[in-house]
Structure 1
């Protein structure tokens, strides 16, 4: 079989040490283009949709995050237990927050989805790091801050608190720093940063880093 063909159903999802990734798009031209970009990264192994299992990274191409796309996100994240990189042309603030809360791991603008950028987003999703463009992260923080102000004074339970260390880590995540950079800034090991984020997301039942940032802003911690 040619090296450029996708993995077959029933075959191993990816070669040892490589990340399994599947491209999902409504039209074959967009799918072929994304697959061509991803094949440039030797750390990735393209697989067919039927062969994609839990832990596979799904690259979902769409014009915008409309209701149908959000439904697909929920199905992939919660049902198939896959990590999703959403590549979109445009996105409203309400759609951004909904996509994050559905569990999307990374979001890219189609105009910025070069082979290097797309590969980096897939690897970040596979690690559980998440990846949002700076302008989208700023919009997310603005949107969550607006929601937070709108519910002030409403009855409800007391939010679970963050430790000082968790808040420090999340502030740097919100500023776009990756795990290694956060570790260097706070004089922690990378393992410590990962453990802080894992403990936080597990305790508060958050889906990924972007969701953790949204929660922290919503509750006024950052």
Structure 2
């Protein structure tokens, strides 16, 4: 019996322990104070390995902190989602309904309100995003369900099997319709009362979301799917 116990102990000692995996997390924010606060929380999470914003090491999580989902945040998010195998967590003060659809269409399903950020909430959001799951505040989830209901009720056809479940937003269709009419960025901006930067971001978002090559490809897609 003692010999058997010794054998068990020997066998147990011979099994190498598996190293604990840490999740590479890059924090992106134009506000140094906001970034410092988030980094301070994440340093207390043993599952997290903080990396530089330009980290190219493969699977990981990018955490984008902003006041509102404006043009700057949209441009930053579009850059992040182009990085393969990178999950994104958004930390925001506010977001409007059209922007929420844009965010979800780009594949982001983990959002935190800045007022609710704690170490434990950030940790849970990172773990959730890393697993490919979603985590939305209850009020945003209700808003998203309402958007989906209206979309299905006839606000526009939705493409089958594409990376974006909601199809083109109305303003995206408006922009592509004017591109199809031969207008350049400046003319479209004047027509729709947007800045040229906004027009460029809208087109960039569409081409990224639907994996299109350029403006001509985007127009062809919109025509084929019946948006314009």
TM-score range, shorter chain: 0.5 to 0.7
Partner residue, 1:114: 118
Partner residue, 2:45: 41
Partner residue, 1:104: 108
Identify which of 74, 79, 84 aligns with 1:75: 79
Identify which of 58, 62, 65 aligns with 2:66: 62
Gaps of 5+ in 1: 1-14, 161-203, 216-222
How is 1:206-217 mapped onto 2 (pairs within 5 angstroms)?
206=163
TM-superposition CA deviations, 1:32-64 (whole Å, max 9, x none): 100011111111111111334332201100011
Output the CA distance in 1 between the equivalents of 2:118 and 2:112: 10
Identify which of 135, 154, 171 aligns with 1:150: 154
Identify which of 90, 98, 121 aligns with 1:86: 90
RMSD, aligned α-carbons: 2.3
- What is the aligned residue count? 149
Partner residue, 1:27: 31
Task: Point out the structure with max Rg over C-alpha.
Answer: 2
* SS in structure 2 of the partner of residue 50 of structure 1: coil
Gaps of 5+ in 2: 1-18, 168-228
* SS in structure 2 of the partner of residue 62 of structure 1: strand
Shift of 1:94: 1.0
**8 Å Cα contact 1:83/1:105 also seen in 2:** no
Partner residue, 2:128: 124
Output the CA distance in 2 between the equivalents of 1:66 and 1:51: 24
Change (3 A) 1:44 1:79: closer
